[in-house]
């Protein structure tokens, strides 16, 4: 599934990656926004191995992150928004009531 992100004309929004403010261009994906500050890893596997965005187009699922408290979000398909809270996902979270965005 392709999602076309639409970078703005230089407008900035503030998101919070691991509780640290990060100013990024409005409209880019969460995966793109945190690629530098995350040092390339945005989740760990069940065994603790670091993983990061790979395909950037919704195919590989290596970019799963917790976004605004909801785990299992494909960060490459979610555009940034003002005040968004983004966290690495460690291991395999409990799907619970939230489920995931790729049912």
In the complex, which residues of this chain contact ligand FES (CB under 6 A)? 31, 53-56, 58-63, 74, 76
Least CB distance from residue 79 to ligand FES, whole Å? 13
Residue pair 20/14 in contact (Cβ under 8 Å)? The answer is: no
> Of the two residues 59 and 81, which places its CB atom closer to ligand FES in the complex?
59
Residue in this structure with the two tokens 């690495």, named with its chain if needed: 88
> Of the two residues 11 and 59, which places its CB atom closer to ligand FES in the complex?
59
> Of the two residues 28 and 60, which places its CB atom closer to ligand FES in the complex?
60
d(CA 98, CA 85): 16
How, if at all, do strands 50-51 and 43-44 pair? antiparallel
Least CB distance from residue 23 to ligand FES, whole Å? 22
Residue pair 102/53 in contact (Cβ under 8 Å)? The answer is: no
């Amino acid at each position: 599934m392709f999602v076309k992100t639409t970078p703005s004309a230089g407008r900035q929004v503030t998101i919070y990656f691991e509780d640290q403010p990060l100013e990024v261009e409005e409209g880019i994906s969460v995966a793109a926004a945190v690629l530098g500050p995350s040092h390339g890893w945005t989740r760990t596997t069940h065994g603790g191995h670091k993983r990061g965005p790979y395909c950037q187009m919704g195919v590989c699922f290596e970019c799963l992150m917790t976004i605004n408290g909801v785990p299992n979000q494909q960060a490459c398909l979610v555009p940034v928004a003002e005040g968004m809270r983004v966290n690495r996902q460690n291991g395999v979270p409990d799907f619970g009531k939230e489920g995931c965005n790729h049912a």
